[in-house]
Every structure is written in C-alpha cells, then in structure tokens.
C-alpha cells in the first residue's frame, strides 16, 4: 500500500512539474528562443568580424611589403604613393608604419625638410603609441644635427633623454653630436659622459661616445 501511495505521489508530482513547465514555456518560451537566437547571431557576427579583421590586416601587410619592395627597387615616388594610400585606408598598425616609412623615404630622397616635418607631425599625434612618437622625435633630431642648431635638436630629443626612456642612449648621443656640431664642447662632453656612464648603454653607442669624448679632449675646449 505504501508503495502504491509513493507511486501515486510521484505521478502527481511529475504531472505538476509537466504542467508548470508548459505554463512557464507558454509565458517565457519566446524570450528563451529570442535569447538563444541572439547568442547565435552575436557569435556569428563576432566570428565574421574576426575573419574580416584578419583579412584586412593581411591585405594591409601585403600592401606594406609591396611598398617596401618599390622603395628597394628605387621607385621612390611609387613607394610614397603606396605608403600614403596605406596610411589613409590601412588597418591595424600599418597606417602608422606607413607614415614612418614614408618619412624615412623622404629623407632618403634628399627632402630633409619634408622628412623632418613628417617625423615631427608623427611625434605630436596623440593617437599614436608613445614609443612610436619618441622614435619619430629621435629621427627628426638626427636629421636636424647637420643644420648645426642645437636648440632645434634639443626641442626634439631632450624629452626622451631621461633615465626612464628606452631611447635615452640615442637621444643623449644626438644631443652630444648637436652640441659638438655647434662648437659647444662643454655641453657635448656632458651628454657623452651621460651616455658612457649609463650601465645599460649598448656597446656600439658607448664606443661612439668614448670616441667623441677623445675628440673633445683633444680639442682642449672642454676644460
């Protein structure tokens, strides 16, 4: 008798649960289906976006390499046009790389003023990563050395000649070169001493700085 009662109770509970499920489904089923459809659509959309992004990045990479090939072949004007197009329409990091390479190409063509202006514009673009801005400042500074105007080089390089900046060694070197070029041996000596005094300085940079210090000492103008 007890078993029959237990069986009857289970059947009643199952029927109640079934009835509750039907009622819940009638009330909320369309929302559950809608949510499932939304998840599928969002997932498909995200996969589609990933695929599109990868295709875009791959296409931009191919265009960048093609521009570099044109530059190596001496087709500077064609390379510049390709780089400028990539700057305007490229994706990912390639527009920034295109700007940097285009500025370098201007320098290689002998358009020093155009190159300095291009690197300076990159260095002032807040949308560009700080390390790229600093690299652009450094390139502009080296191009400015030949002009012999220390203040112009200093305006580009001193901000990155600080102990926390990874480009400080080259920044101090270019500042030393600018001071030497301008005939300011005292200041040049100070910068080159900062270069060799940094225990993290690359060997080639340190060697150049020591050579400059020897030249300055031989001049007798820094004592």
Q: What is the 3-state secondary structure (H, E, C) of 153-195?
A: HHHHHHHHCCCCCCCHHHHHHHHHHHHHHCCCHHHHHHHHHHH
In this prediction the pTM is: 0.70
Give me the tens of pLDDT residue by residue for the chain, a chain 223 residues long.
Answer: 444 445 544 554 454 455 554 554 455 445 444 444 444 444 444 454 344 445 555 677 788 888 888 878 888 899 889 888 888 887 777 888 888 889 888 988 899 999 999 999 999 999 888 999 999 999 999 999 988 689 999 999 999 999 999 999 999 999 999 999 999 999 999 999 999 999 999 999 999 999 999 999 988 887 6
Largest CA distance in the chain: 118
């Amino acid at each position: 008798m007890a078993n029959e009662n237990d069986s009857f109770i289970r059947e009643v509970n199952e029927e109640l649960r079934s009835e509750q499920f039907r009622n819940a489904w009638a009330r909320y089923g369309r929302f559950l289906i809608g949510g499932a459809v939304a998840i599928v659509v969002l997932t498909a959309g995200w996969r589609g976006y990933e695929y599109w992004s990868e295709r875009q990045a791959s296409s931009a990479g191919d265009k960048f390499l093609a521009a570099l090939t044109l530059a190596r072949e001496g087709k500077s004007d064609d390379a510049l046009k390709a780089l400028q197009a990539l700057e305007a329409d490229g994706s990912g990091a390639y527009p920034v790389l295109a700007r940097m390479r285009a500025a370098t190409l201007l320098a290689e063509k002998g358009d020093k003023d155009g190159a300095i202006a291009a690197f300076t514009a990159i260095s002032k673009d807040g949308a560009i990563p700080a390390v790229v801005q600093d690299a652009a400042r450094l390139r502009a500074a080296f191009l400015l050395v030949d002009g012999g105007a220390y203040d112009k080089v200093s305006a580009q390089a001193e901000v990155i000649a600080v102990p926390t900046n990874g480009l400080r060694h080259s920044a101090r070197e270019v500042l030393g070169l600018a001071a030497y070029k301008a005939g300011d041996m005292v200041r040049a000596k100070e910068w080159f001493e900062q270069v060799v005094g940094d225990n993290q300085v690359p060997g080639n940079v340190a060697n150049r700085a020591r050579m400059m210090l020897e030249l300055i000492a031989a001049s007798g103008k820094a004592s």
